[in-house]
Copies of this chain bind each other. A is one copy, B any other.
Amino acid sequence: MNGAIIAICLTLLPVLIAAENPCCSMPCQNMGVCMREGDSYSCDCTRTGYYGQNCDIPEFWTSIKVALKPSKKTTHHLLTNYKWLWNIVNRIPFLSKFIMRAVYKIRSATVDSPPMYHTGHDYTSWDTYADRSYYTRALPPVPPGCPTPMGTAGRKELPSPQYIAETFLARRRFIPDKRRTNVLFNFMAQHFTHQFFKTDFKKGAGRTWGDHGVDLSHIYGETVERQHQLRSFTDGKLKFQRVEGEVYPPSLADAPVHMIYPPYVPEGKRFAIGHEFFGLLPGLFVYSTVWLREHNRVCDVMKELHPDWDDERLFQTARLILTGETINIIINEYVQHLSGYNFDLFWDPELLFSDQFQYQNRIFVEFNHLYHWHPLMPDQFHINGSTYGMKDYLFNTDLVFKHGFGTTVDAMSRQIAGQIGPKNIGPVNLKVAVETIKHERNLRMQGLNQYRKRFGIPPYKTFLELTGGDAEMADQLEEAYGDVDAVELYVGLMVEQPAPGSVTSETIIEMGGPFSVKGLLSNPLCSPQWWKPSTFGGEAGFRMVKTATLKDLFCRNTAGPCGLVSFAVPEDVQPTGLPEEQDASSQGKGASQNDADLVPVNGVLSSQDKHLHKEEKTSQDGSQDPETSSKVTANEKPVAKNEKLPKNGVAQKKEFQNGSPKNGRASKNDVPKNEPAPKNGLPTAFPKNGAAPRTYVNRTSCKQCDRIEL
């Protein structure tokens, strides 16, 4: 009997020892590093501002700082309210710069640079710095062999990713974004972020084939070989083809690069683009097209200014100008819309020149996961009265040609996107959500609450707090996870409600803000060495970078009058894409139901106002802008067009005559949902059933899709 007990004990002993890694309970606070020391542990509190066994006792100056610092919630409240105050602040340059600099500094200080952890090791190693094929991470993984997947909190076994995704994330009914975020924003997000979110699934969920930043590799290709295939080697320009007089990406026959297309897409309809999966969706094709046109337009301007420059220099300088334009648009308009701040964000690299700031960037796996904004994606697309289900949209660039480029952009600006929140991921993308949960488990990523602490926000105390008051979902989450500290990062981010006034939740803002600011401002363009006119071919190029707007980008590169171009549906424009019953109910009423549902929040139109304000300052009339006016007169090709910019959304709508609804409100007749999808050249090989064509986006069955990241 005794022998049996001893035998059992001996059998259990290594298990007990193995299970007793004291770092499993995440004892070290405030970013202290936990090191196991036999049965005990120590926390390395160096430079955390705290001391004590668990780095939880603040040093003197830390306690002062903590006492004085407003909470993230307070700051967010301040920034998204008191519009009258911000209207004043926005007009006082020194105040405005002071605040902008503070935002840059506070946001970027949260990101380790150089990174401390990557997905290849649980601890800091040389490869963390040197091996760029790994995503970096903001928190090390849960130690191996802990009692529960989240360390010590929560259930020993979590429900299947499929169950989690279907219960908490799957769309029952399209929920439109309350801040009127539109499809043009949705595709900007997808197009922009896929230059650096490039998971190398063949190697693993923690690996990347990208280069960790805003490098415009989605336009120019990840490798020099691909870039060379895409270039014409004449006047710096990219290859293109004309379709009905307008410039589009070249055919694959003209620029033989690797692109992912399903077999049914005919050769002539396969396009060569910087990123191999940007043939997937017409929205991505639209952005690829407009940046191609912009590149070639900039080359024309540079060629006129520098007749002695060769193709290579024209190309390289245009690339730098487009990189700058991208950053400017992203900060001024895209992040501005996302944040919902009444403070006007702007891009001024000089604000950081006197500070300790690292001009190097890495993409964090957490940044990738938090950017899985698939709820934005609608299930149907509305263009000029036609409605396309997802199955008719995928790989179907024909509809851009059918409706025309300008009309497509206008339609994207009018269609509302989905709200980033629970139960709003459409059927096509749910598989991605399932995979993301699997990846997080595979990478042993810490839970939502650990990340909240890491990024300076208090962890949720209850499930009800996490769901923003949704008791049913709170109960389901509790059943699934057992402890609010055990809720997985991605799941937590998706079930949170958007923060007041914002497009995304508090955690997405507080985690994404730092990654985003750091990524944009650490671009070499922003360094004191590079940020000067000569980098951009002189003052004219520098001005293009500093004055770029989304509207200019599209309107200068669209033949014919320019339609609505915006990241949100303006308040006086009736959005398309609202759920049918809302849409139907709006028929009988003067003020539509959706107007009540969509909060007329700050910033939707102010973003337009801001551009106009800036344009007035820099080039009230397009023809005063020397580089663009020279372009208009010098370039015989009608590719680029410098329109006088309409003063507001209404004017835009009135001026735009290319088949858009006349009164700004979509009617049942305008959006013929019940009509069969138009015959637009799709071959019969395309799946006929209503299910999303997973064949082409399912990684397990698509041989070419190892690199697809939706």
Given contacts A33-B534, A360-B360, A532-B47, contact A123 B316 (CB under 8 A): yes
Copies of this subunit: 2
State A674–B50 Cα separation when bound (angstroms).
Answer: 69
- A211 at the A/B interface (Cβ < 8 Å)? yes
Contact present for B538 and A35 (CB under 8 Å): yes
Which of B215, B524, B532 sits near A46, CB closer than 8 Å? B532
Interface residues in A498-514 by Cβ distance below 8 A to B read none
Which of B38, B114, B307, B355 sits near A359, CB closer than 8 Å? B114
Which of B21, B35, B538 sits near A534, CB closer than 8 Å? B35
Contact present for B114 and A316 (CB under 8 Å): no
Q: Which of A126-134, A591-599, A622-630 contacts B (4 or more CB under 8 A)?
A: A126-134
Interface residues in A98-122 by Cβ distance below 8 A to B read 112-116, 121-122
- CB-CB under 8 A from A360, the residues of chain B are 114, 358-360
- CB-CB under 8 A from A320, the residues of chain B are 124-126
Contact with B along A57-80 (1 / 0, CB 8 A): 000000000000000000000000
State A646–B524 Cα separation when bound (angstroms).
Answer: 51
Q: How far is the CB of A97 from chain B (nearest CB, A)?
A: 18
State A46–B350 Cα separation when bound (angstroms).
Answer: 12
State A125–B537 Cα separation when bound (angstroms).
Answer: 11
- CB-CB under 8 A from A128, the residues of chain B are 524
- A224 at the A/B interface (Cβ < 8 Å)? yes
Contact present for B124 and A33 (CB under 8 Å): no
State A347–B535 Cα separation when bound (angstroms).
Answer: 36
Contact present for B524 and A114 (CB under 8 Å): yes
Q: How far is the CB of A233 from chain B (nearest CB, A)?
A: 15
- CB-CB under 8 A from A33, the residues of chain B are 532, 534
- A313 at the A/B interface (Cβ < 8 Å)? yes
Contact present for B44 and A534 (CB under 8 Å): yes
- A616 at the A/B interface (Cβ < 8 Å)? no
Contact present for B356 and A359 (CB under 8 Å): no
- CB-CB under 8 A from A44, the residues of chain B are 532-534
State A130–B317 Cα separation when bound (angstroms).
Answer: 15
Q: What residue in chain B is nearest A536 (Cβ atoms)?
A: B124
Q: Which of A127, A211, A215, A530: most chain B Cβ within 10 A?
A: A530
Contact present for A528 and B312 (CB under 8 Å): no
Q: What residue in chain B is nearest A128 (Cβ atoms)?
A: B524
- A354 at the A/B interface (Cβ < 8 Å)? yes
Q: Which of A128, A216, A354: most chain B Cβ within 10 A?
A: A128
Closest 4 CB pairs of A and B: A46-B532, A44-B534, A125-B316, A33-B534
What are 16 of the A-B contact pairs (CB < 8 Å)? A33-B534, A36-B306, A38-B307, A42-B538, A113-B359, A114-B359, A114-B524, A114-B529, A123-B317, A124-B320, A126-B316, A126-B319, A130-B211, A356-B357, A358-B359, A360-B360
